[in-house]
Amino acid sequence: MGRLTERVAIVTGAAGGIGAAVARLLAAEGAAVVVADVRDTEGAELAAELGDRAPSVALDVTSEDGWQRAVAEVERELGPVSVLVNNAGIAAWGPMEEQSLESFRQVIDVNLQGPWLGMRAVAPSLRRSGGGVIVNISSLAGLTAYAGIGSYAASKWGLRGLTKTAALELAPDGIRVCSVHPGAIRTPMTADFDDSYTSGQPIPRFGEPEEVARMVLFVVTEATFSTGSEFVLDGGVLAGPPVVVSSKDDAEY
């Protein structure tokens, strides 16, 4: 029997990349997993792969009405939600001065407003299930600055703060809220980056979506004394600058 048998989970952005890996792992652990994505065709294909207890829901995470409809549909079909994984996200590349206001707002709407709407919509269902867990997929860019992705970094730093606020507000209801901060993960979002992008990391490779999924599962099932906490998968980037030591007396910085 899996660790999530009889649990109901919603995973946003589940049609591919990290979201699909999370959906597969939670389903393998026995959860009924709602594959929620604006890409409804790809979402339906994954849902079919996962089986009868994995319905797909077409969901634009920036729509308050969409969230309300999705949660109501899930409760009718499966019962109260006990796990929410806010994974849906987008990025826009380029200097701040070259990004349009429309593009900036779109990134903020999906990456920050989306999880905010999701937590508001799902919280009553989590209470009805007797408590639960919300996992917000932030980013390494929510912990340190990166040039060229201002709107993305702003959204992920904001999600970090929103996570901590929600953790404080929902703790009395037995609801834990944590954030997961992946670094360079091999997904469609990073498809244009070659291996040189990660060569300076202590772990000099891209992470895999399945590694993020295992961290999400740990937060949901094992980190039971953690809320408002940040869980990092960055290949060691935040540990500090790389040091190459050629002898005891000679270190190159």
**Residues recognised as catalytic:** 152
156-194: buried (b, 16+ CB within 10 Å) or exposed (e) per residue?
Answer: bbbbbebbbebbeebeeeebbbbbbbbbbbbbeebeeee
